Every structure is written in structure tokens, then in C-alpha cells.
Amino acid sequence: MIAEIHQAFKPQLIVMDGVEAFVDGGPSRGKQVTAGVIVAGTDRIAVDAVGLAVLKQLGSNDAIMSTKIFEQEQVQRAVELGLGISRRDQIEIVTADADSRAYGDALNQILAQG
């Protein structure tokens, strides 16, 4: 139902706070790790996909690790509803410095694998 709720509005900017992230459980308790990342974008599905890549990079639960990003139920439903991009190759990770670029490259590799 999360995707359906998003049909009512179209944000112009999406910001995901990934300084700390739940890799299992959540949103109020579970296994929490320091991710040290902020993701911002104009496409809801792209931001979610990058967020899933971050969770995969951190080593999340089996449901996330064993399912390709664009095969995750919530992403598939958002794509079906036309809430944003529909393919990984439509994501562009833009970074400000060499360290961020290296991290972005690692996320791109995860996105490419699914």
C-alpha cells in the first residue's frame, strides 16, 4: 500500500537519511549499522533502488540480499504504478568527490547485479 499512497503526490526532491540504517528489523528497532550516506534525488524509485543497494552493500537480511532490487515487491509495485523509473540503467549516481565517487561506483556494481 505504500506505493498506492504515493500516487496522491509527486515530490520534487526525495532525501534519504542513511547515516544510520536498519539492516534487519526496523523501523523502530532491529540491527542498526552506521552507513554514513545521504541519498537525494528527484525519482522515488531511483532513490529506493539506491537505498536497497546501500542495504545490500552493508549486508542486510535475507529478503533483501536474495532478491534483485527491481524484483523487490515494493519496487515492482511502484514501477507498475508509474511512480518513476523502471530500469536500473535509468539511475545516475552523481557525487562530489573521489571518495564519494568510489562509493557510488560500488553501488552501481550492486545495482547492475540486481
Number of independent structural domains in the chain: 1
Confidence of residue 111 (pLDDT cuts 50, 70, 90): very high
Domain that holds residue 35: 2-113
**CA 98 from centre of chain:** 21
List, for residues 4-37, the tens digit of each pLDDT value.
777 777 889 999 999 999 999 888 889 999 999 9
CA distance 46 to 40: 10
pLDDT tens string 49-96: 999 999 999 999 999 999 999 999 999 999 999 999 999 999 999 999
Q: Are 61 and 51 in contact (CB under 8 A)?
A: no
Looking at 1-114, list the stretches that DSSP marks H as alpha helix, in order from N- to C-terminal side: 2-5, 44-58, 62-65, 73-80, 98-113
What pTM was estimated for this model as a whole?
0.91
36 CB neighbour count, 10 Å cutoff:
11
